[in-house]
Amino acid sequence: MVRVSVPATSANLGPGFDSIGLCFDLFNVFEFDEIDEGLCFEGFKEEFCNENNLIYVSMKALFNKIKFKPKGVKIKLVEQNIPIARGLGSSSSCIVAGVIGANAISGYQLSKDEILDIAVEIEGHPDNVAPALLGGLIVAALDDNKPYYSKIEVNKVVNFYALIPDFMLSTEEARKVLPKEISLKDGVYNVSRAALLVAAFAQGKYELLKIACSDKFHQPYRGKLIENYDDVMNECNKNKALSVYLSGAGPTIMAISEEKEFFKEKMRTWLVQNKMNWDIIELKINNQGAIIK
């Protein structure tokens, strides 16, 4: 039996559309085992107990890659702490867990980079699966569908707060609202800020994040799908957030702050006063990534 813990992630990271992501200490935990025959699920809702389960689909991708045929597979959901369809990498946790679990069952034949190749092939882009697997802040690019990445271990002197609404937003729906083309002006805007963002995290110059997290690729379009988006963003800024950005495809909004309890309590009070059913949780940076035992 193998136990795999996969952390939550926050992708797109302001201007880093499909290319920059962060890893946090919030885990989904799964167990994998090779059994005598068949496919067995434990801990999942009935609708996910079939061959279309994303974890099993990811396992099969690795098995097919290395031409390994297990006698049977058991997948157990031990803990589900990452909210589903909220922009915190719940789908990526399934993909990474499945590929890691399959690699373990088949005798650890592939390296982390080879595991990442398969995970990115399934996900389509690296900004969630890469930090989930590797930890820290990951800057990644695809060339001929192969991911290339660099990892920054983030100094933990700043605080991250996820403001999570009580409604879901599918990545597919969030992709539909994006423009097919962007202007040169918007391209320069995002490229300059993405570069500044990476430098700010690498050097610990967090005062640059308010400018560096600005975006014109996806947030102006996806924000329209999220009720109270502008109000929440503005209130975070009023309460001295270093920066505020849309986590993944949304609807979670992530705030970075040097303040600790002040920011969290002020935002929680404001949400209650305005009768907005949003949760706010503090997330700590995870520089390790997925864990296998």
Q: Is 90 helix (H, G, I), strand (E, B) or coil?
A: helix
Instruction: Assess whether 42 and 28 both reside in one domain.
Output: yes
Instruction: Assess whether 9 and 141 both reside in one domain.
Output: yes
Instruction: Give tens-digit pLDDT for 32-45.
Output: 999 999 999 999 99
The residues near 142 (Cβ < 8 Å, ≥ 6 apart) are 120, 125, 126, 148
CATH of the domain at 214: 3.30.70.890
Structural domains in the chain (count): 2
Instruction: Assess whether 130 and 106 both reside in one domain.
Output: yes
Pairing state between β 137-143 and 20-34: antiparallel
Q: How would residue 262 be classed by pLDDT, with cut points 50, 70 and 90?
A: confident
**Is the pLDDT score of 161 beyond 80?**
yes
Instruction: Assess whether 47 and 10 both reside in one domain.
Output: yes
The parent domain of residue 268 ranges over 159-283
Provide the pLDDT for residue 194.
97
Instruction: Assess whether 235 and 270 both reside in one domain.
Output: yes
Instruction: Assess whether 25 and 121 both reside in one domain.
Output: yes
CB 16, CB 127: distance < 8 Å: yes
Instruction: Assess whether 146 and 192 both reside in one domain.
Output: no
Provide the pLDDT for residue 171.
84
Instruction: Assess whether 19 and 65 both reside in one domain.
Output: yes
Instruction: Assess whether 149 and 179 both reside in one domain.
Output: no
Q: How would residue 123 be classed by pLDDT, with cut points 50, 70 and 90?
A: very high
Q: How far apart are CA 28 and CA 243, in angstroms?
A: 27
Provide the pLDDT for residue 28.
98
Instruction: Assess whether 273 and 178 both reside in one domain.
Output: yes
**Is the pLDDT score of 156 beyond 80?**
no
Amino acid at 85: A
CATH of the domain at 81: 3.30.230.10
Provide the pLDDT for residue 258.
87
Comparing 258 with 142, the larger pLDDT belongs to 142
Burial grade of 87 (CB within 10 A; 0-12, 13-18, 19 or more):
buried
Q: How would residue 68 be classed by pLDDT, with cut points 50, 70 and 90?
A: very high
Residues 57-81, mean pLDDT to the nearest whole number: 97
